Amino acid sequence: MLYSIGQDGIQFHPPVKIPMYLSGNFGEIRGDHFHSGIDIKTQGTTGHHISSVEKGYVSRIKVQANGYGKSIYVSHPNGYTSVYGHLDRYREDIAAYVNRMQYKKQSHTVDLYLNKSTFPLEKGEFIAYSGNTGSSSGPHLHFEIRSTAQQHPTNVLSYNLEIKDQLAPRFHSLFLYPMNTLSQINGKAERFSSKVVRDKGIYTIPYGTTVEASGTLGISVEVFDYLDGASNRCGIHTLEMYVDNKLSYSHVMDEFSFSETRYINAHIDYEERIKSGKKAHRLHRLPNDRLRIYSQTLENKPLLVDESRSYAVRIVASDVAGNSSTLEFTLKGSELSNAAPPSDKGDNIFMKYAQVNSFEKGPVQLEIPANSLYQDLDFSFQSSPPADGSLTPFYQIATREVPVHKAYTLSIKSPDLDPSLHKRLLLISHTDKGEVVSAGGEYQDGHVVAKLRNFGEFAVGLDTIAPEITPLGNMRFIISDELSGIAKYEGYIDNQWALFEYDPKNNLLFYLYDEQRISKGSEHELELYVSDEKGNVNLLHTTFNW
């Protein structure tokens, strides 16, 4: 069906003139956040006309290297604000205004708030061209509808936009896991996972698969929605779990705030996401999960299994268009078998999520603010020998499978170095592929101190290497940095600041010739400065003709 029932009866004009097929929808699981809009495919190309979906005015223009890249915000008299992201460029008069502000501030990155009289708009009026700027993986339009007063993103698919959806959600995987040391699945204190199959219109686990459990059980499911005209996996609008036909869990993705979006790491099966990359919804609420998407009339608790009985579990996933799918399986209660003794994980202490937690051992100090964890934690600490250019041993702080909400402070004692190198010190960590990456931080009173929002392995490192600048011709340059990352770039043409644009996903820094700023038919002098997060600077000094 087409989405036809809009919130408050609002009928928005389509933001694009081409048929709207989606590569992403509202509320789907992303890294550390829920997706706040819809991603409209633009036929693999840039330059499509973007129109204001309703009468209003341009209230904000933001240009950044990452995020939405070039974006525009339009406030409407109906109480909503529409947002258009990853734009290639603005229409001519808006582009000229932005250019003036960038030169005034001498910055490619700007965040401009405008009054009603600067750029008033009619419904359907042309405002920009679609693009691929910012943190975009391909040409598309990121489109949002926010409440103007609170700036909360709302579910775009709830409005009157002609986006066809006759496809039901699909379940892919089921996960069960013990919630404590007195819980087991199939006689083991280990996670259980199963692919699901569809039989007579209902999803279930494969025939012959046994699921017996004791104690307190967590359940999560990998489930996605799909829309007509695209194979992309999208987010679920409503997810419910019934145990013996009684509703025990429910969440609905209609609206959220940016201040709470990081609680997605409590909502999802975070351990499964880290281990396998799968995006599974947890079907219970962790103690410090403060999302407001859950039913307020349910406890949304894990399942407490009685060993003397079986449980009929039914999980229903629905989309905004009313399509739904069901996953059913039977869970049999069983006695707790002899549990293996817990393995030695080094230094362990118990941390309560609602209080400040501190840890100190040798050269390592740690302070975790209250409510940085989503639930109580059996905290572990280990060390391993120096490796990969580290100046200290690597210290294992808990595990990567444990999510962190608020930033905590990690301090590691620095080795004795020449004081001139102190400003080049930082913490380093490893990627899944074993690559050394920066974790940030700075030297303070004999330690390297960083604010972190993830657990894992950390050590002290040193970055003394300046970024590289590689000319490609036609005022295009590849810029890269070995460790701490690009922090700043500045270009000067004939001793005057020039507007260079940066595309981090392609490591590309470029200048668009502007005859209003430099004269044609002559030789010009270029100075290009690129610095990294530890203050290492590279200068390219050359001449060019235009």
Q: Residue 156: what are its φ and ψ, rounded to 5°?
A: -60, -30
Fold of 468-545: Immunoglobulin-like (2.60.40)
Contact assessment for residue 98 and residue 61, using Cβ atoms and an 8 Å cutoff: yes
Per the listing, tokens 């859950």 go with 294
Local confidence pLDDT in tens for the 546 residues of the chain? 333 334 557 889 999 999 999 999 999 999 999 999 999 999 999 999 999 999 999 999 999 999 999 999 999 999 999 999 999 999 999 999 999 999 999 999 999 999 999 999 999 999 999 999 999 999 999 999 999 999 999 999 999 788 999 999 999 999 999 999 999 999 999 999 999 999 999 999 999 898 999 999 999 999 999 999 999 999 999 999 999 999 999 999 999 999 999 999 999 999 999 999 999 999 999 999 999 999 999 999 999 999 999 999 999 999 999 999 999 999 999 998 875 555 555 567 999 999 999 999 999 999 999 999 999 999 999 999 998 789 999 999 999 999 999 999 999 999 999 999 999 999 999 988 889 999 999 999 999 999 999 999 999 999 999 999 999 999 999 999 999 999 999 999 999 999 999 999 999 999 999 999 999 999 999 999 999 999 999 999 999 999
Q: What is the 3-state secondary structure (H, E, C) of 123-155?
A: CCCEEEEEECCCCCCCCEEEEEEEECCCCCEEC
Tell me the pLDDT tens digit for each residue of 434-447.
899 999 999 999 99
In whole angstroms, give the CA distance from residue 522 to residue 531: 29
Contacts for 367-373 with beta carbons within 8 Å, 24 or more apart?
A: 367/408, 367/409, 368/404, 368/408, 369/406, 369/407, 369/408, 371/288, 371/405, 371/406, 372/404, 372/405, 372/406, 372/407, 372/408, 373/288, 373/402, 373/404, 373/405
In whole angstroms, give the CA distance from residue 440 to residue 438: 5
In whole angstroms, give the CA distance from residue 40 to residue 52: 15
Tell me the pLDDT tens digit for each residue of 485-512.
999 999 999 999 999 999 999 999 999 9
Q: What CATH class is the domain 347-462? A: mainly beta
Dihedral in degrees, nearest 10, Cα atoms 350, 356, 360, 366: 110
In whole angstroms, give the CA distance from residue 138 to residue 133: 9
Dihedral in degrees, nearest 10, Cα atoms 470, 472, 477, 481: -30
Parse the chain into domains and list their residue ranges. Answer: 7-158, 170-333, 347-462, 468-545
Query: Which 3 state secondary structure label does DSSP give 330?
Result: strand
Query: Which 3 state secondary structure label does DSSP give 112?
Result: strand
pLDDT given at position 7: 59
Entry pTM? 0.94
In whole angstroms, give the CA distance from residue 138 to residue 471: 24
Decide whether 7-158 matches 468-545 in CATH topology.
no
pLDDT given at position 423: 98
In whole angstroms, give the CA distance from residue 492 to residue 539: 11
Residue 52 token pair: 């204001």
Q: Which CATH superfamily is domain 7-158 in?
A: Glucose Permease (Domain IIA) (2.70.70.10)
Query: Which 3 state secondary structure label does DSSP give 339?
Result: coil
